[in-house]
Amino acid sequence: MEIDLKEVTGITIDSREVKPGFIFVAIKGVAQDGHDYVTQAIANGAKTILHQYDLKKEVGINYIQVLDPRIALSELAAKFYPKQPKNILGITGTSGKSSIVHFIREILKLMGKKSVSIGTLGVIGDYEVKSNLTTPATIDLHNTLQEIVEHDIDYTAIECSSHGIDQHRLTSVNFTACGFSNFSHDHLDYHNDMAEYFQAKKRLFSIMKLGYVVLNMDIPEYEELYNYCLEQGHKAISYGKNPAANIIIESIEREGLEQKVTWIIDDFYGQTKLNLVGEFQVYNLACAIGLIMSSGIEIENIMPLLPQINNVPGRMELVSTHNKAGIFVDYAHKPEALAQALQNLRNNTDQKLWVIFGCGGDRDQTKRSIMGEIACKYADHVIITDDNPRSEDPASIRSAILKGCDDKAQEIESREEAISFAISKLQPRDNLLIAGKGHENYQIIGNEIMEFNDKEKVREILQLSK
């Protein structure tokens, strides 16, 4: 695909955004087909149309037909915005992506290096942009990468969602290294089954050019991923408790709400205290260490900084204490993530463990009863409430969750009332996990988006109780 970009003023897939000199890329989506808006794009000034299906052509317009417009868009965006940071570290997997890119950014900041992370929390760090997608849209992503370079930033960590990989948003990104955290049930509202979901994740390693891959050696998918990456010509860095790993987590000891970890990494053997709750966060940190090492930074320069690292906002975040009990907020909204959060908090709970959660509407319905079962398995008290019901009936979502629950569970429709009730029941050395929304500062009910933040709500309730 050869296009002279000298006269091109912009690229878009939205005909309403077209201005004179733009290239319009017609993409068939789930709800709309860009081919239906070609006439509008031309009327707004598009001079080049990138398309997949046959079109009735107008005089004076450059039509370029391609097999896959998403791939073509990725290549085109990379040419239009040709600058990319020297070190781009990608991470995929079902859970942990936000924590891993956060840890990467935190470590680099402590080393005095400028960096940016791109993901669920937006584009944050030494250059910031608001974003509502885990992996930004193709044009936005490449524009952002160029802006990062122009701000003299050499390091970028990107959360690579299965949607972003499948839709070729990342196809033309020049990754230095990519990691894989773990794999579990999620996104079956988009992928047909778990096998398709896994293949989408795995495809990241065929997108990247020759480089390092950082793989969790303790997950069942490790061997398949490792062999696949070797076939692609990559070098592998493994991490986990497995003594054959490159980054060995030899032991994890609980010290209150901190952890002491013994590491064996190359010739390094030592211990670090971590201000992080949960074994899963140690795994996330190990992945971040591997990705940073893959960019050429020595382990001796990384290890002394680890005690200064804090959790990513909304990820197993200790919000406050009440009656000598801990109140935590976590983004866990998938079965494995909820199980992981509860298991790890259980290991840090001396008395009763409480959990409050719901499930989002217009999303994968198959996980609801599974999450109810998980909550009742690990927690002593379970409160089912509303998350973001969106266009679905909130009561039907709660009912679906309760099908997996036993008599430990109770239903409180209002999320605020659920939080208030649980806090009022906390006893010394209990812990409360408020799961599902994490960093989010809104709640979507029907078509209404209302201000709501679990952390702020906890603080309000505690203030009123004084």
- Answer yes or no: do 66 and 140 share one domain: no
- Answer yes or no: do 398 and 446 share one domain: yes
Rounded Cα gap, residues 322 and 72, in angstroms = 55
For residue 96, the domain's CATH number is 3.40.1190.10
User: Alpha carbon 254 to chain centroid distance?
Assistant: 27
Domain boundary among 250, 284, 308: 308
- Answer yes or no: do 297 and 374 share one domain: no
- Answer yes or no: do 112 and 217 share one domain: yes
- Answer yes or no: do 178 and 304 share one domain: yes
Q: Look at residue 220 and tell me if it is in a domain.
A: yes
User: CB under 8 Å to 224, separation ≥6 — which residues?
Assistant: 202
Q: In the prediction, which pLDDT does 347 show? A: 84
Domain boundary among 79, 100, 125: 79
Q: Look at residue 1 and tell me if it is in a domain.
A: no
In the numeric block, which tokens belong to residue 387?
């998350």
| Phi then psi dihedrals of residue 186, to 5 deg | -175, 160
- Answer yes or no: do 301 and 347 share one domain: no
Q: Look at residue 4 and tell me if it is in a domain.
A: no
Q: In the prediction, which pLDDT does 29 show? A: 85
- Answer yes or no: do 75 and 86 share one domain: no
Q: Look at residue 2 and tell me if it is in a domain.
A: no
Amino acid symbol at 462: L
Domain boundary among 260, 290, 308: 308
Q: In the prediction, which pLDDT does 186 show? A: 58
pTM over 0.85: no
DSSP designation for 34: G
Amino acid symbol at 375: A
Q: In the prediction, which pLDDT does 71 show? A: 95
| Phi then psi dihedrals of residue 387, to 5 deg | -105, -110
Q: In the prediction, which pLDDT does 158 show? A: 97
DSSP string, 130-151: --SSSS--HHHHHHHHHHHHHT
Q: Look at residue 38 and tell me if it is in a domain.
A: yes
Q: Look at residue 3 and tell me if it is in a domain.
A: no
Beta strands, E only, 175-244: 177-180, 212-216, 235-240
- Answer yes or no: do 89 and 209 share one domain: yes
Q: In the prediction, which pLDDT does 189 show? A: 57
- Answer yes or no: do 107 and 210 share one domain: yes
Number of helices and strands in the chain (H, E): 15, 22
b (16+ CB within 10 A) / e for 392-401? bebeebbebb
b (16+ CB within 10 A) / e for 333-355? bbbbbbbbbbebbeebbeebbbb
For residue 416, the domain's CATH number is 3.90.190.20
For residue 57, the domain's CATH number is 3.40.1390.10
How many folded domains does the chain comprise? 3
Q: Look at residue 327 and tell me if it is in a domain.
A: yes
Across the chain, which has 466 residues, the per-10-residue mean pLDDT values are: 83 96 93 94 96 93 95 96 97 91 97 95 90 84 97 97 90 97 68 78 92 96 96 97 97 86 92 90 96 96 95 87 94 90 89 97 94 98 97 97 97 98 97 95 94 96 84
- Answer yes or no: do 248 and 276 share one domain: yes
Query: Could you tell me if residue 431 is left (phi over 0), alpha (psi between -120 and 50 degrees) or otherwise beta?
Result: beta
Q: In the prediction, which pLDDT does 466 show? A: 66
Q: Look at residue 240 and tell me if it is in a domain.
A: yes
- Answer yes or no: do 185 and 210 share one domain: yes
- Answer yes or no: do 104 and 226 share one domain: yes
Residue span of the structural domain in which 116 resides: 82-308
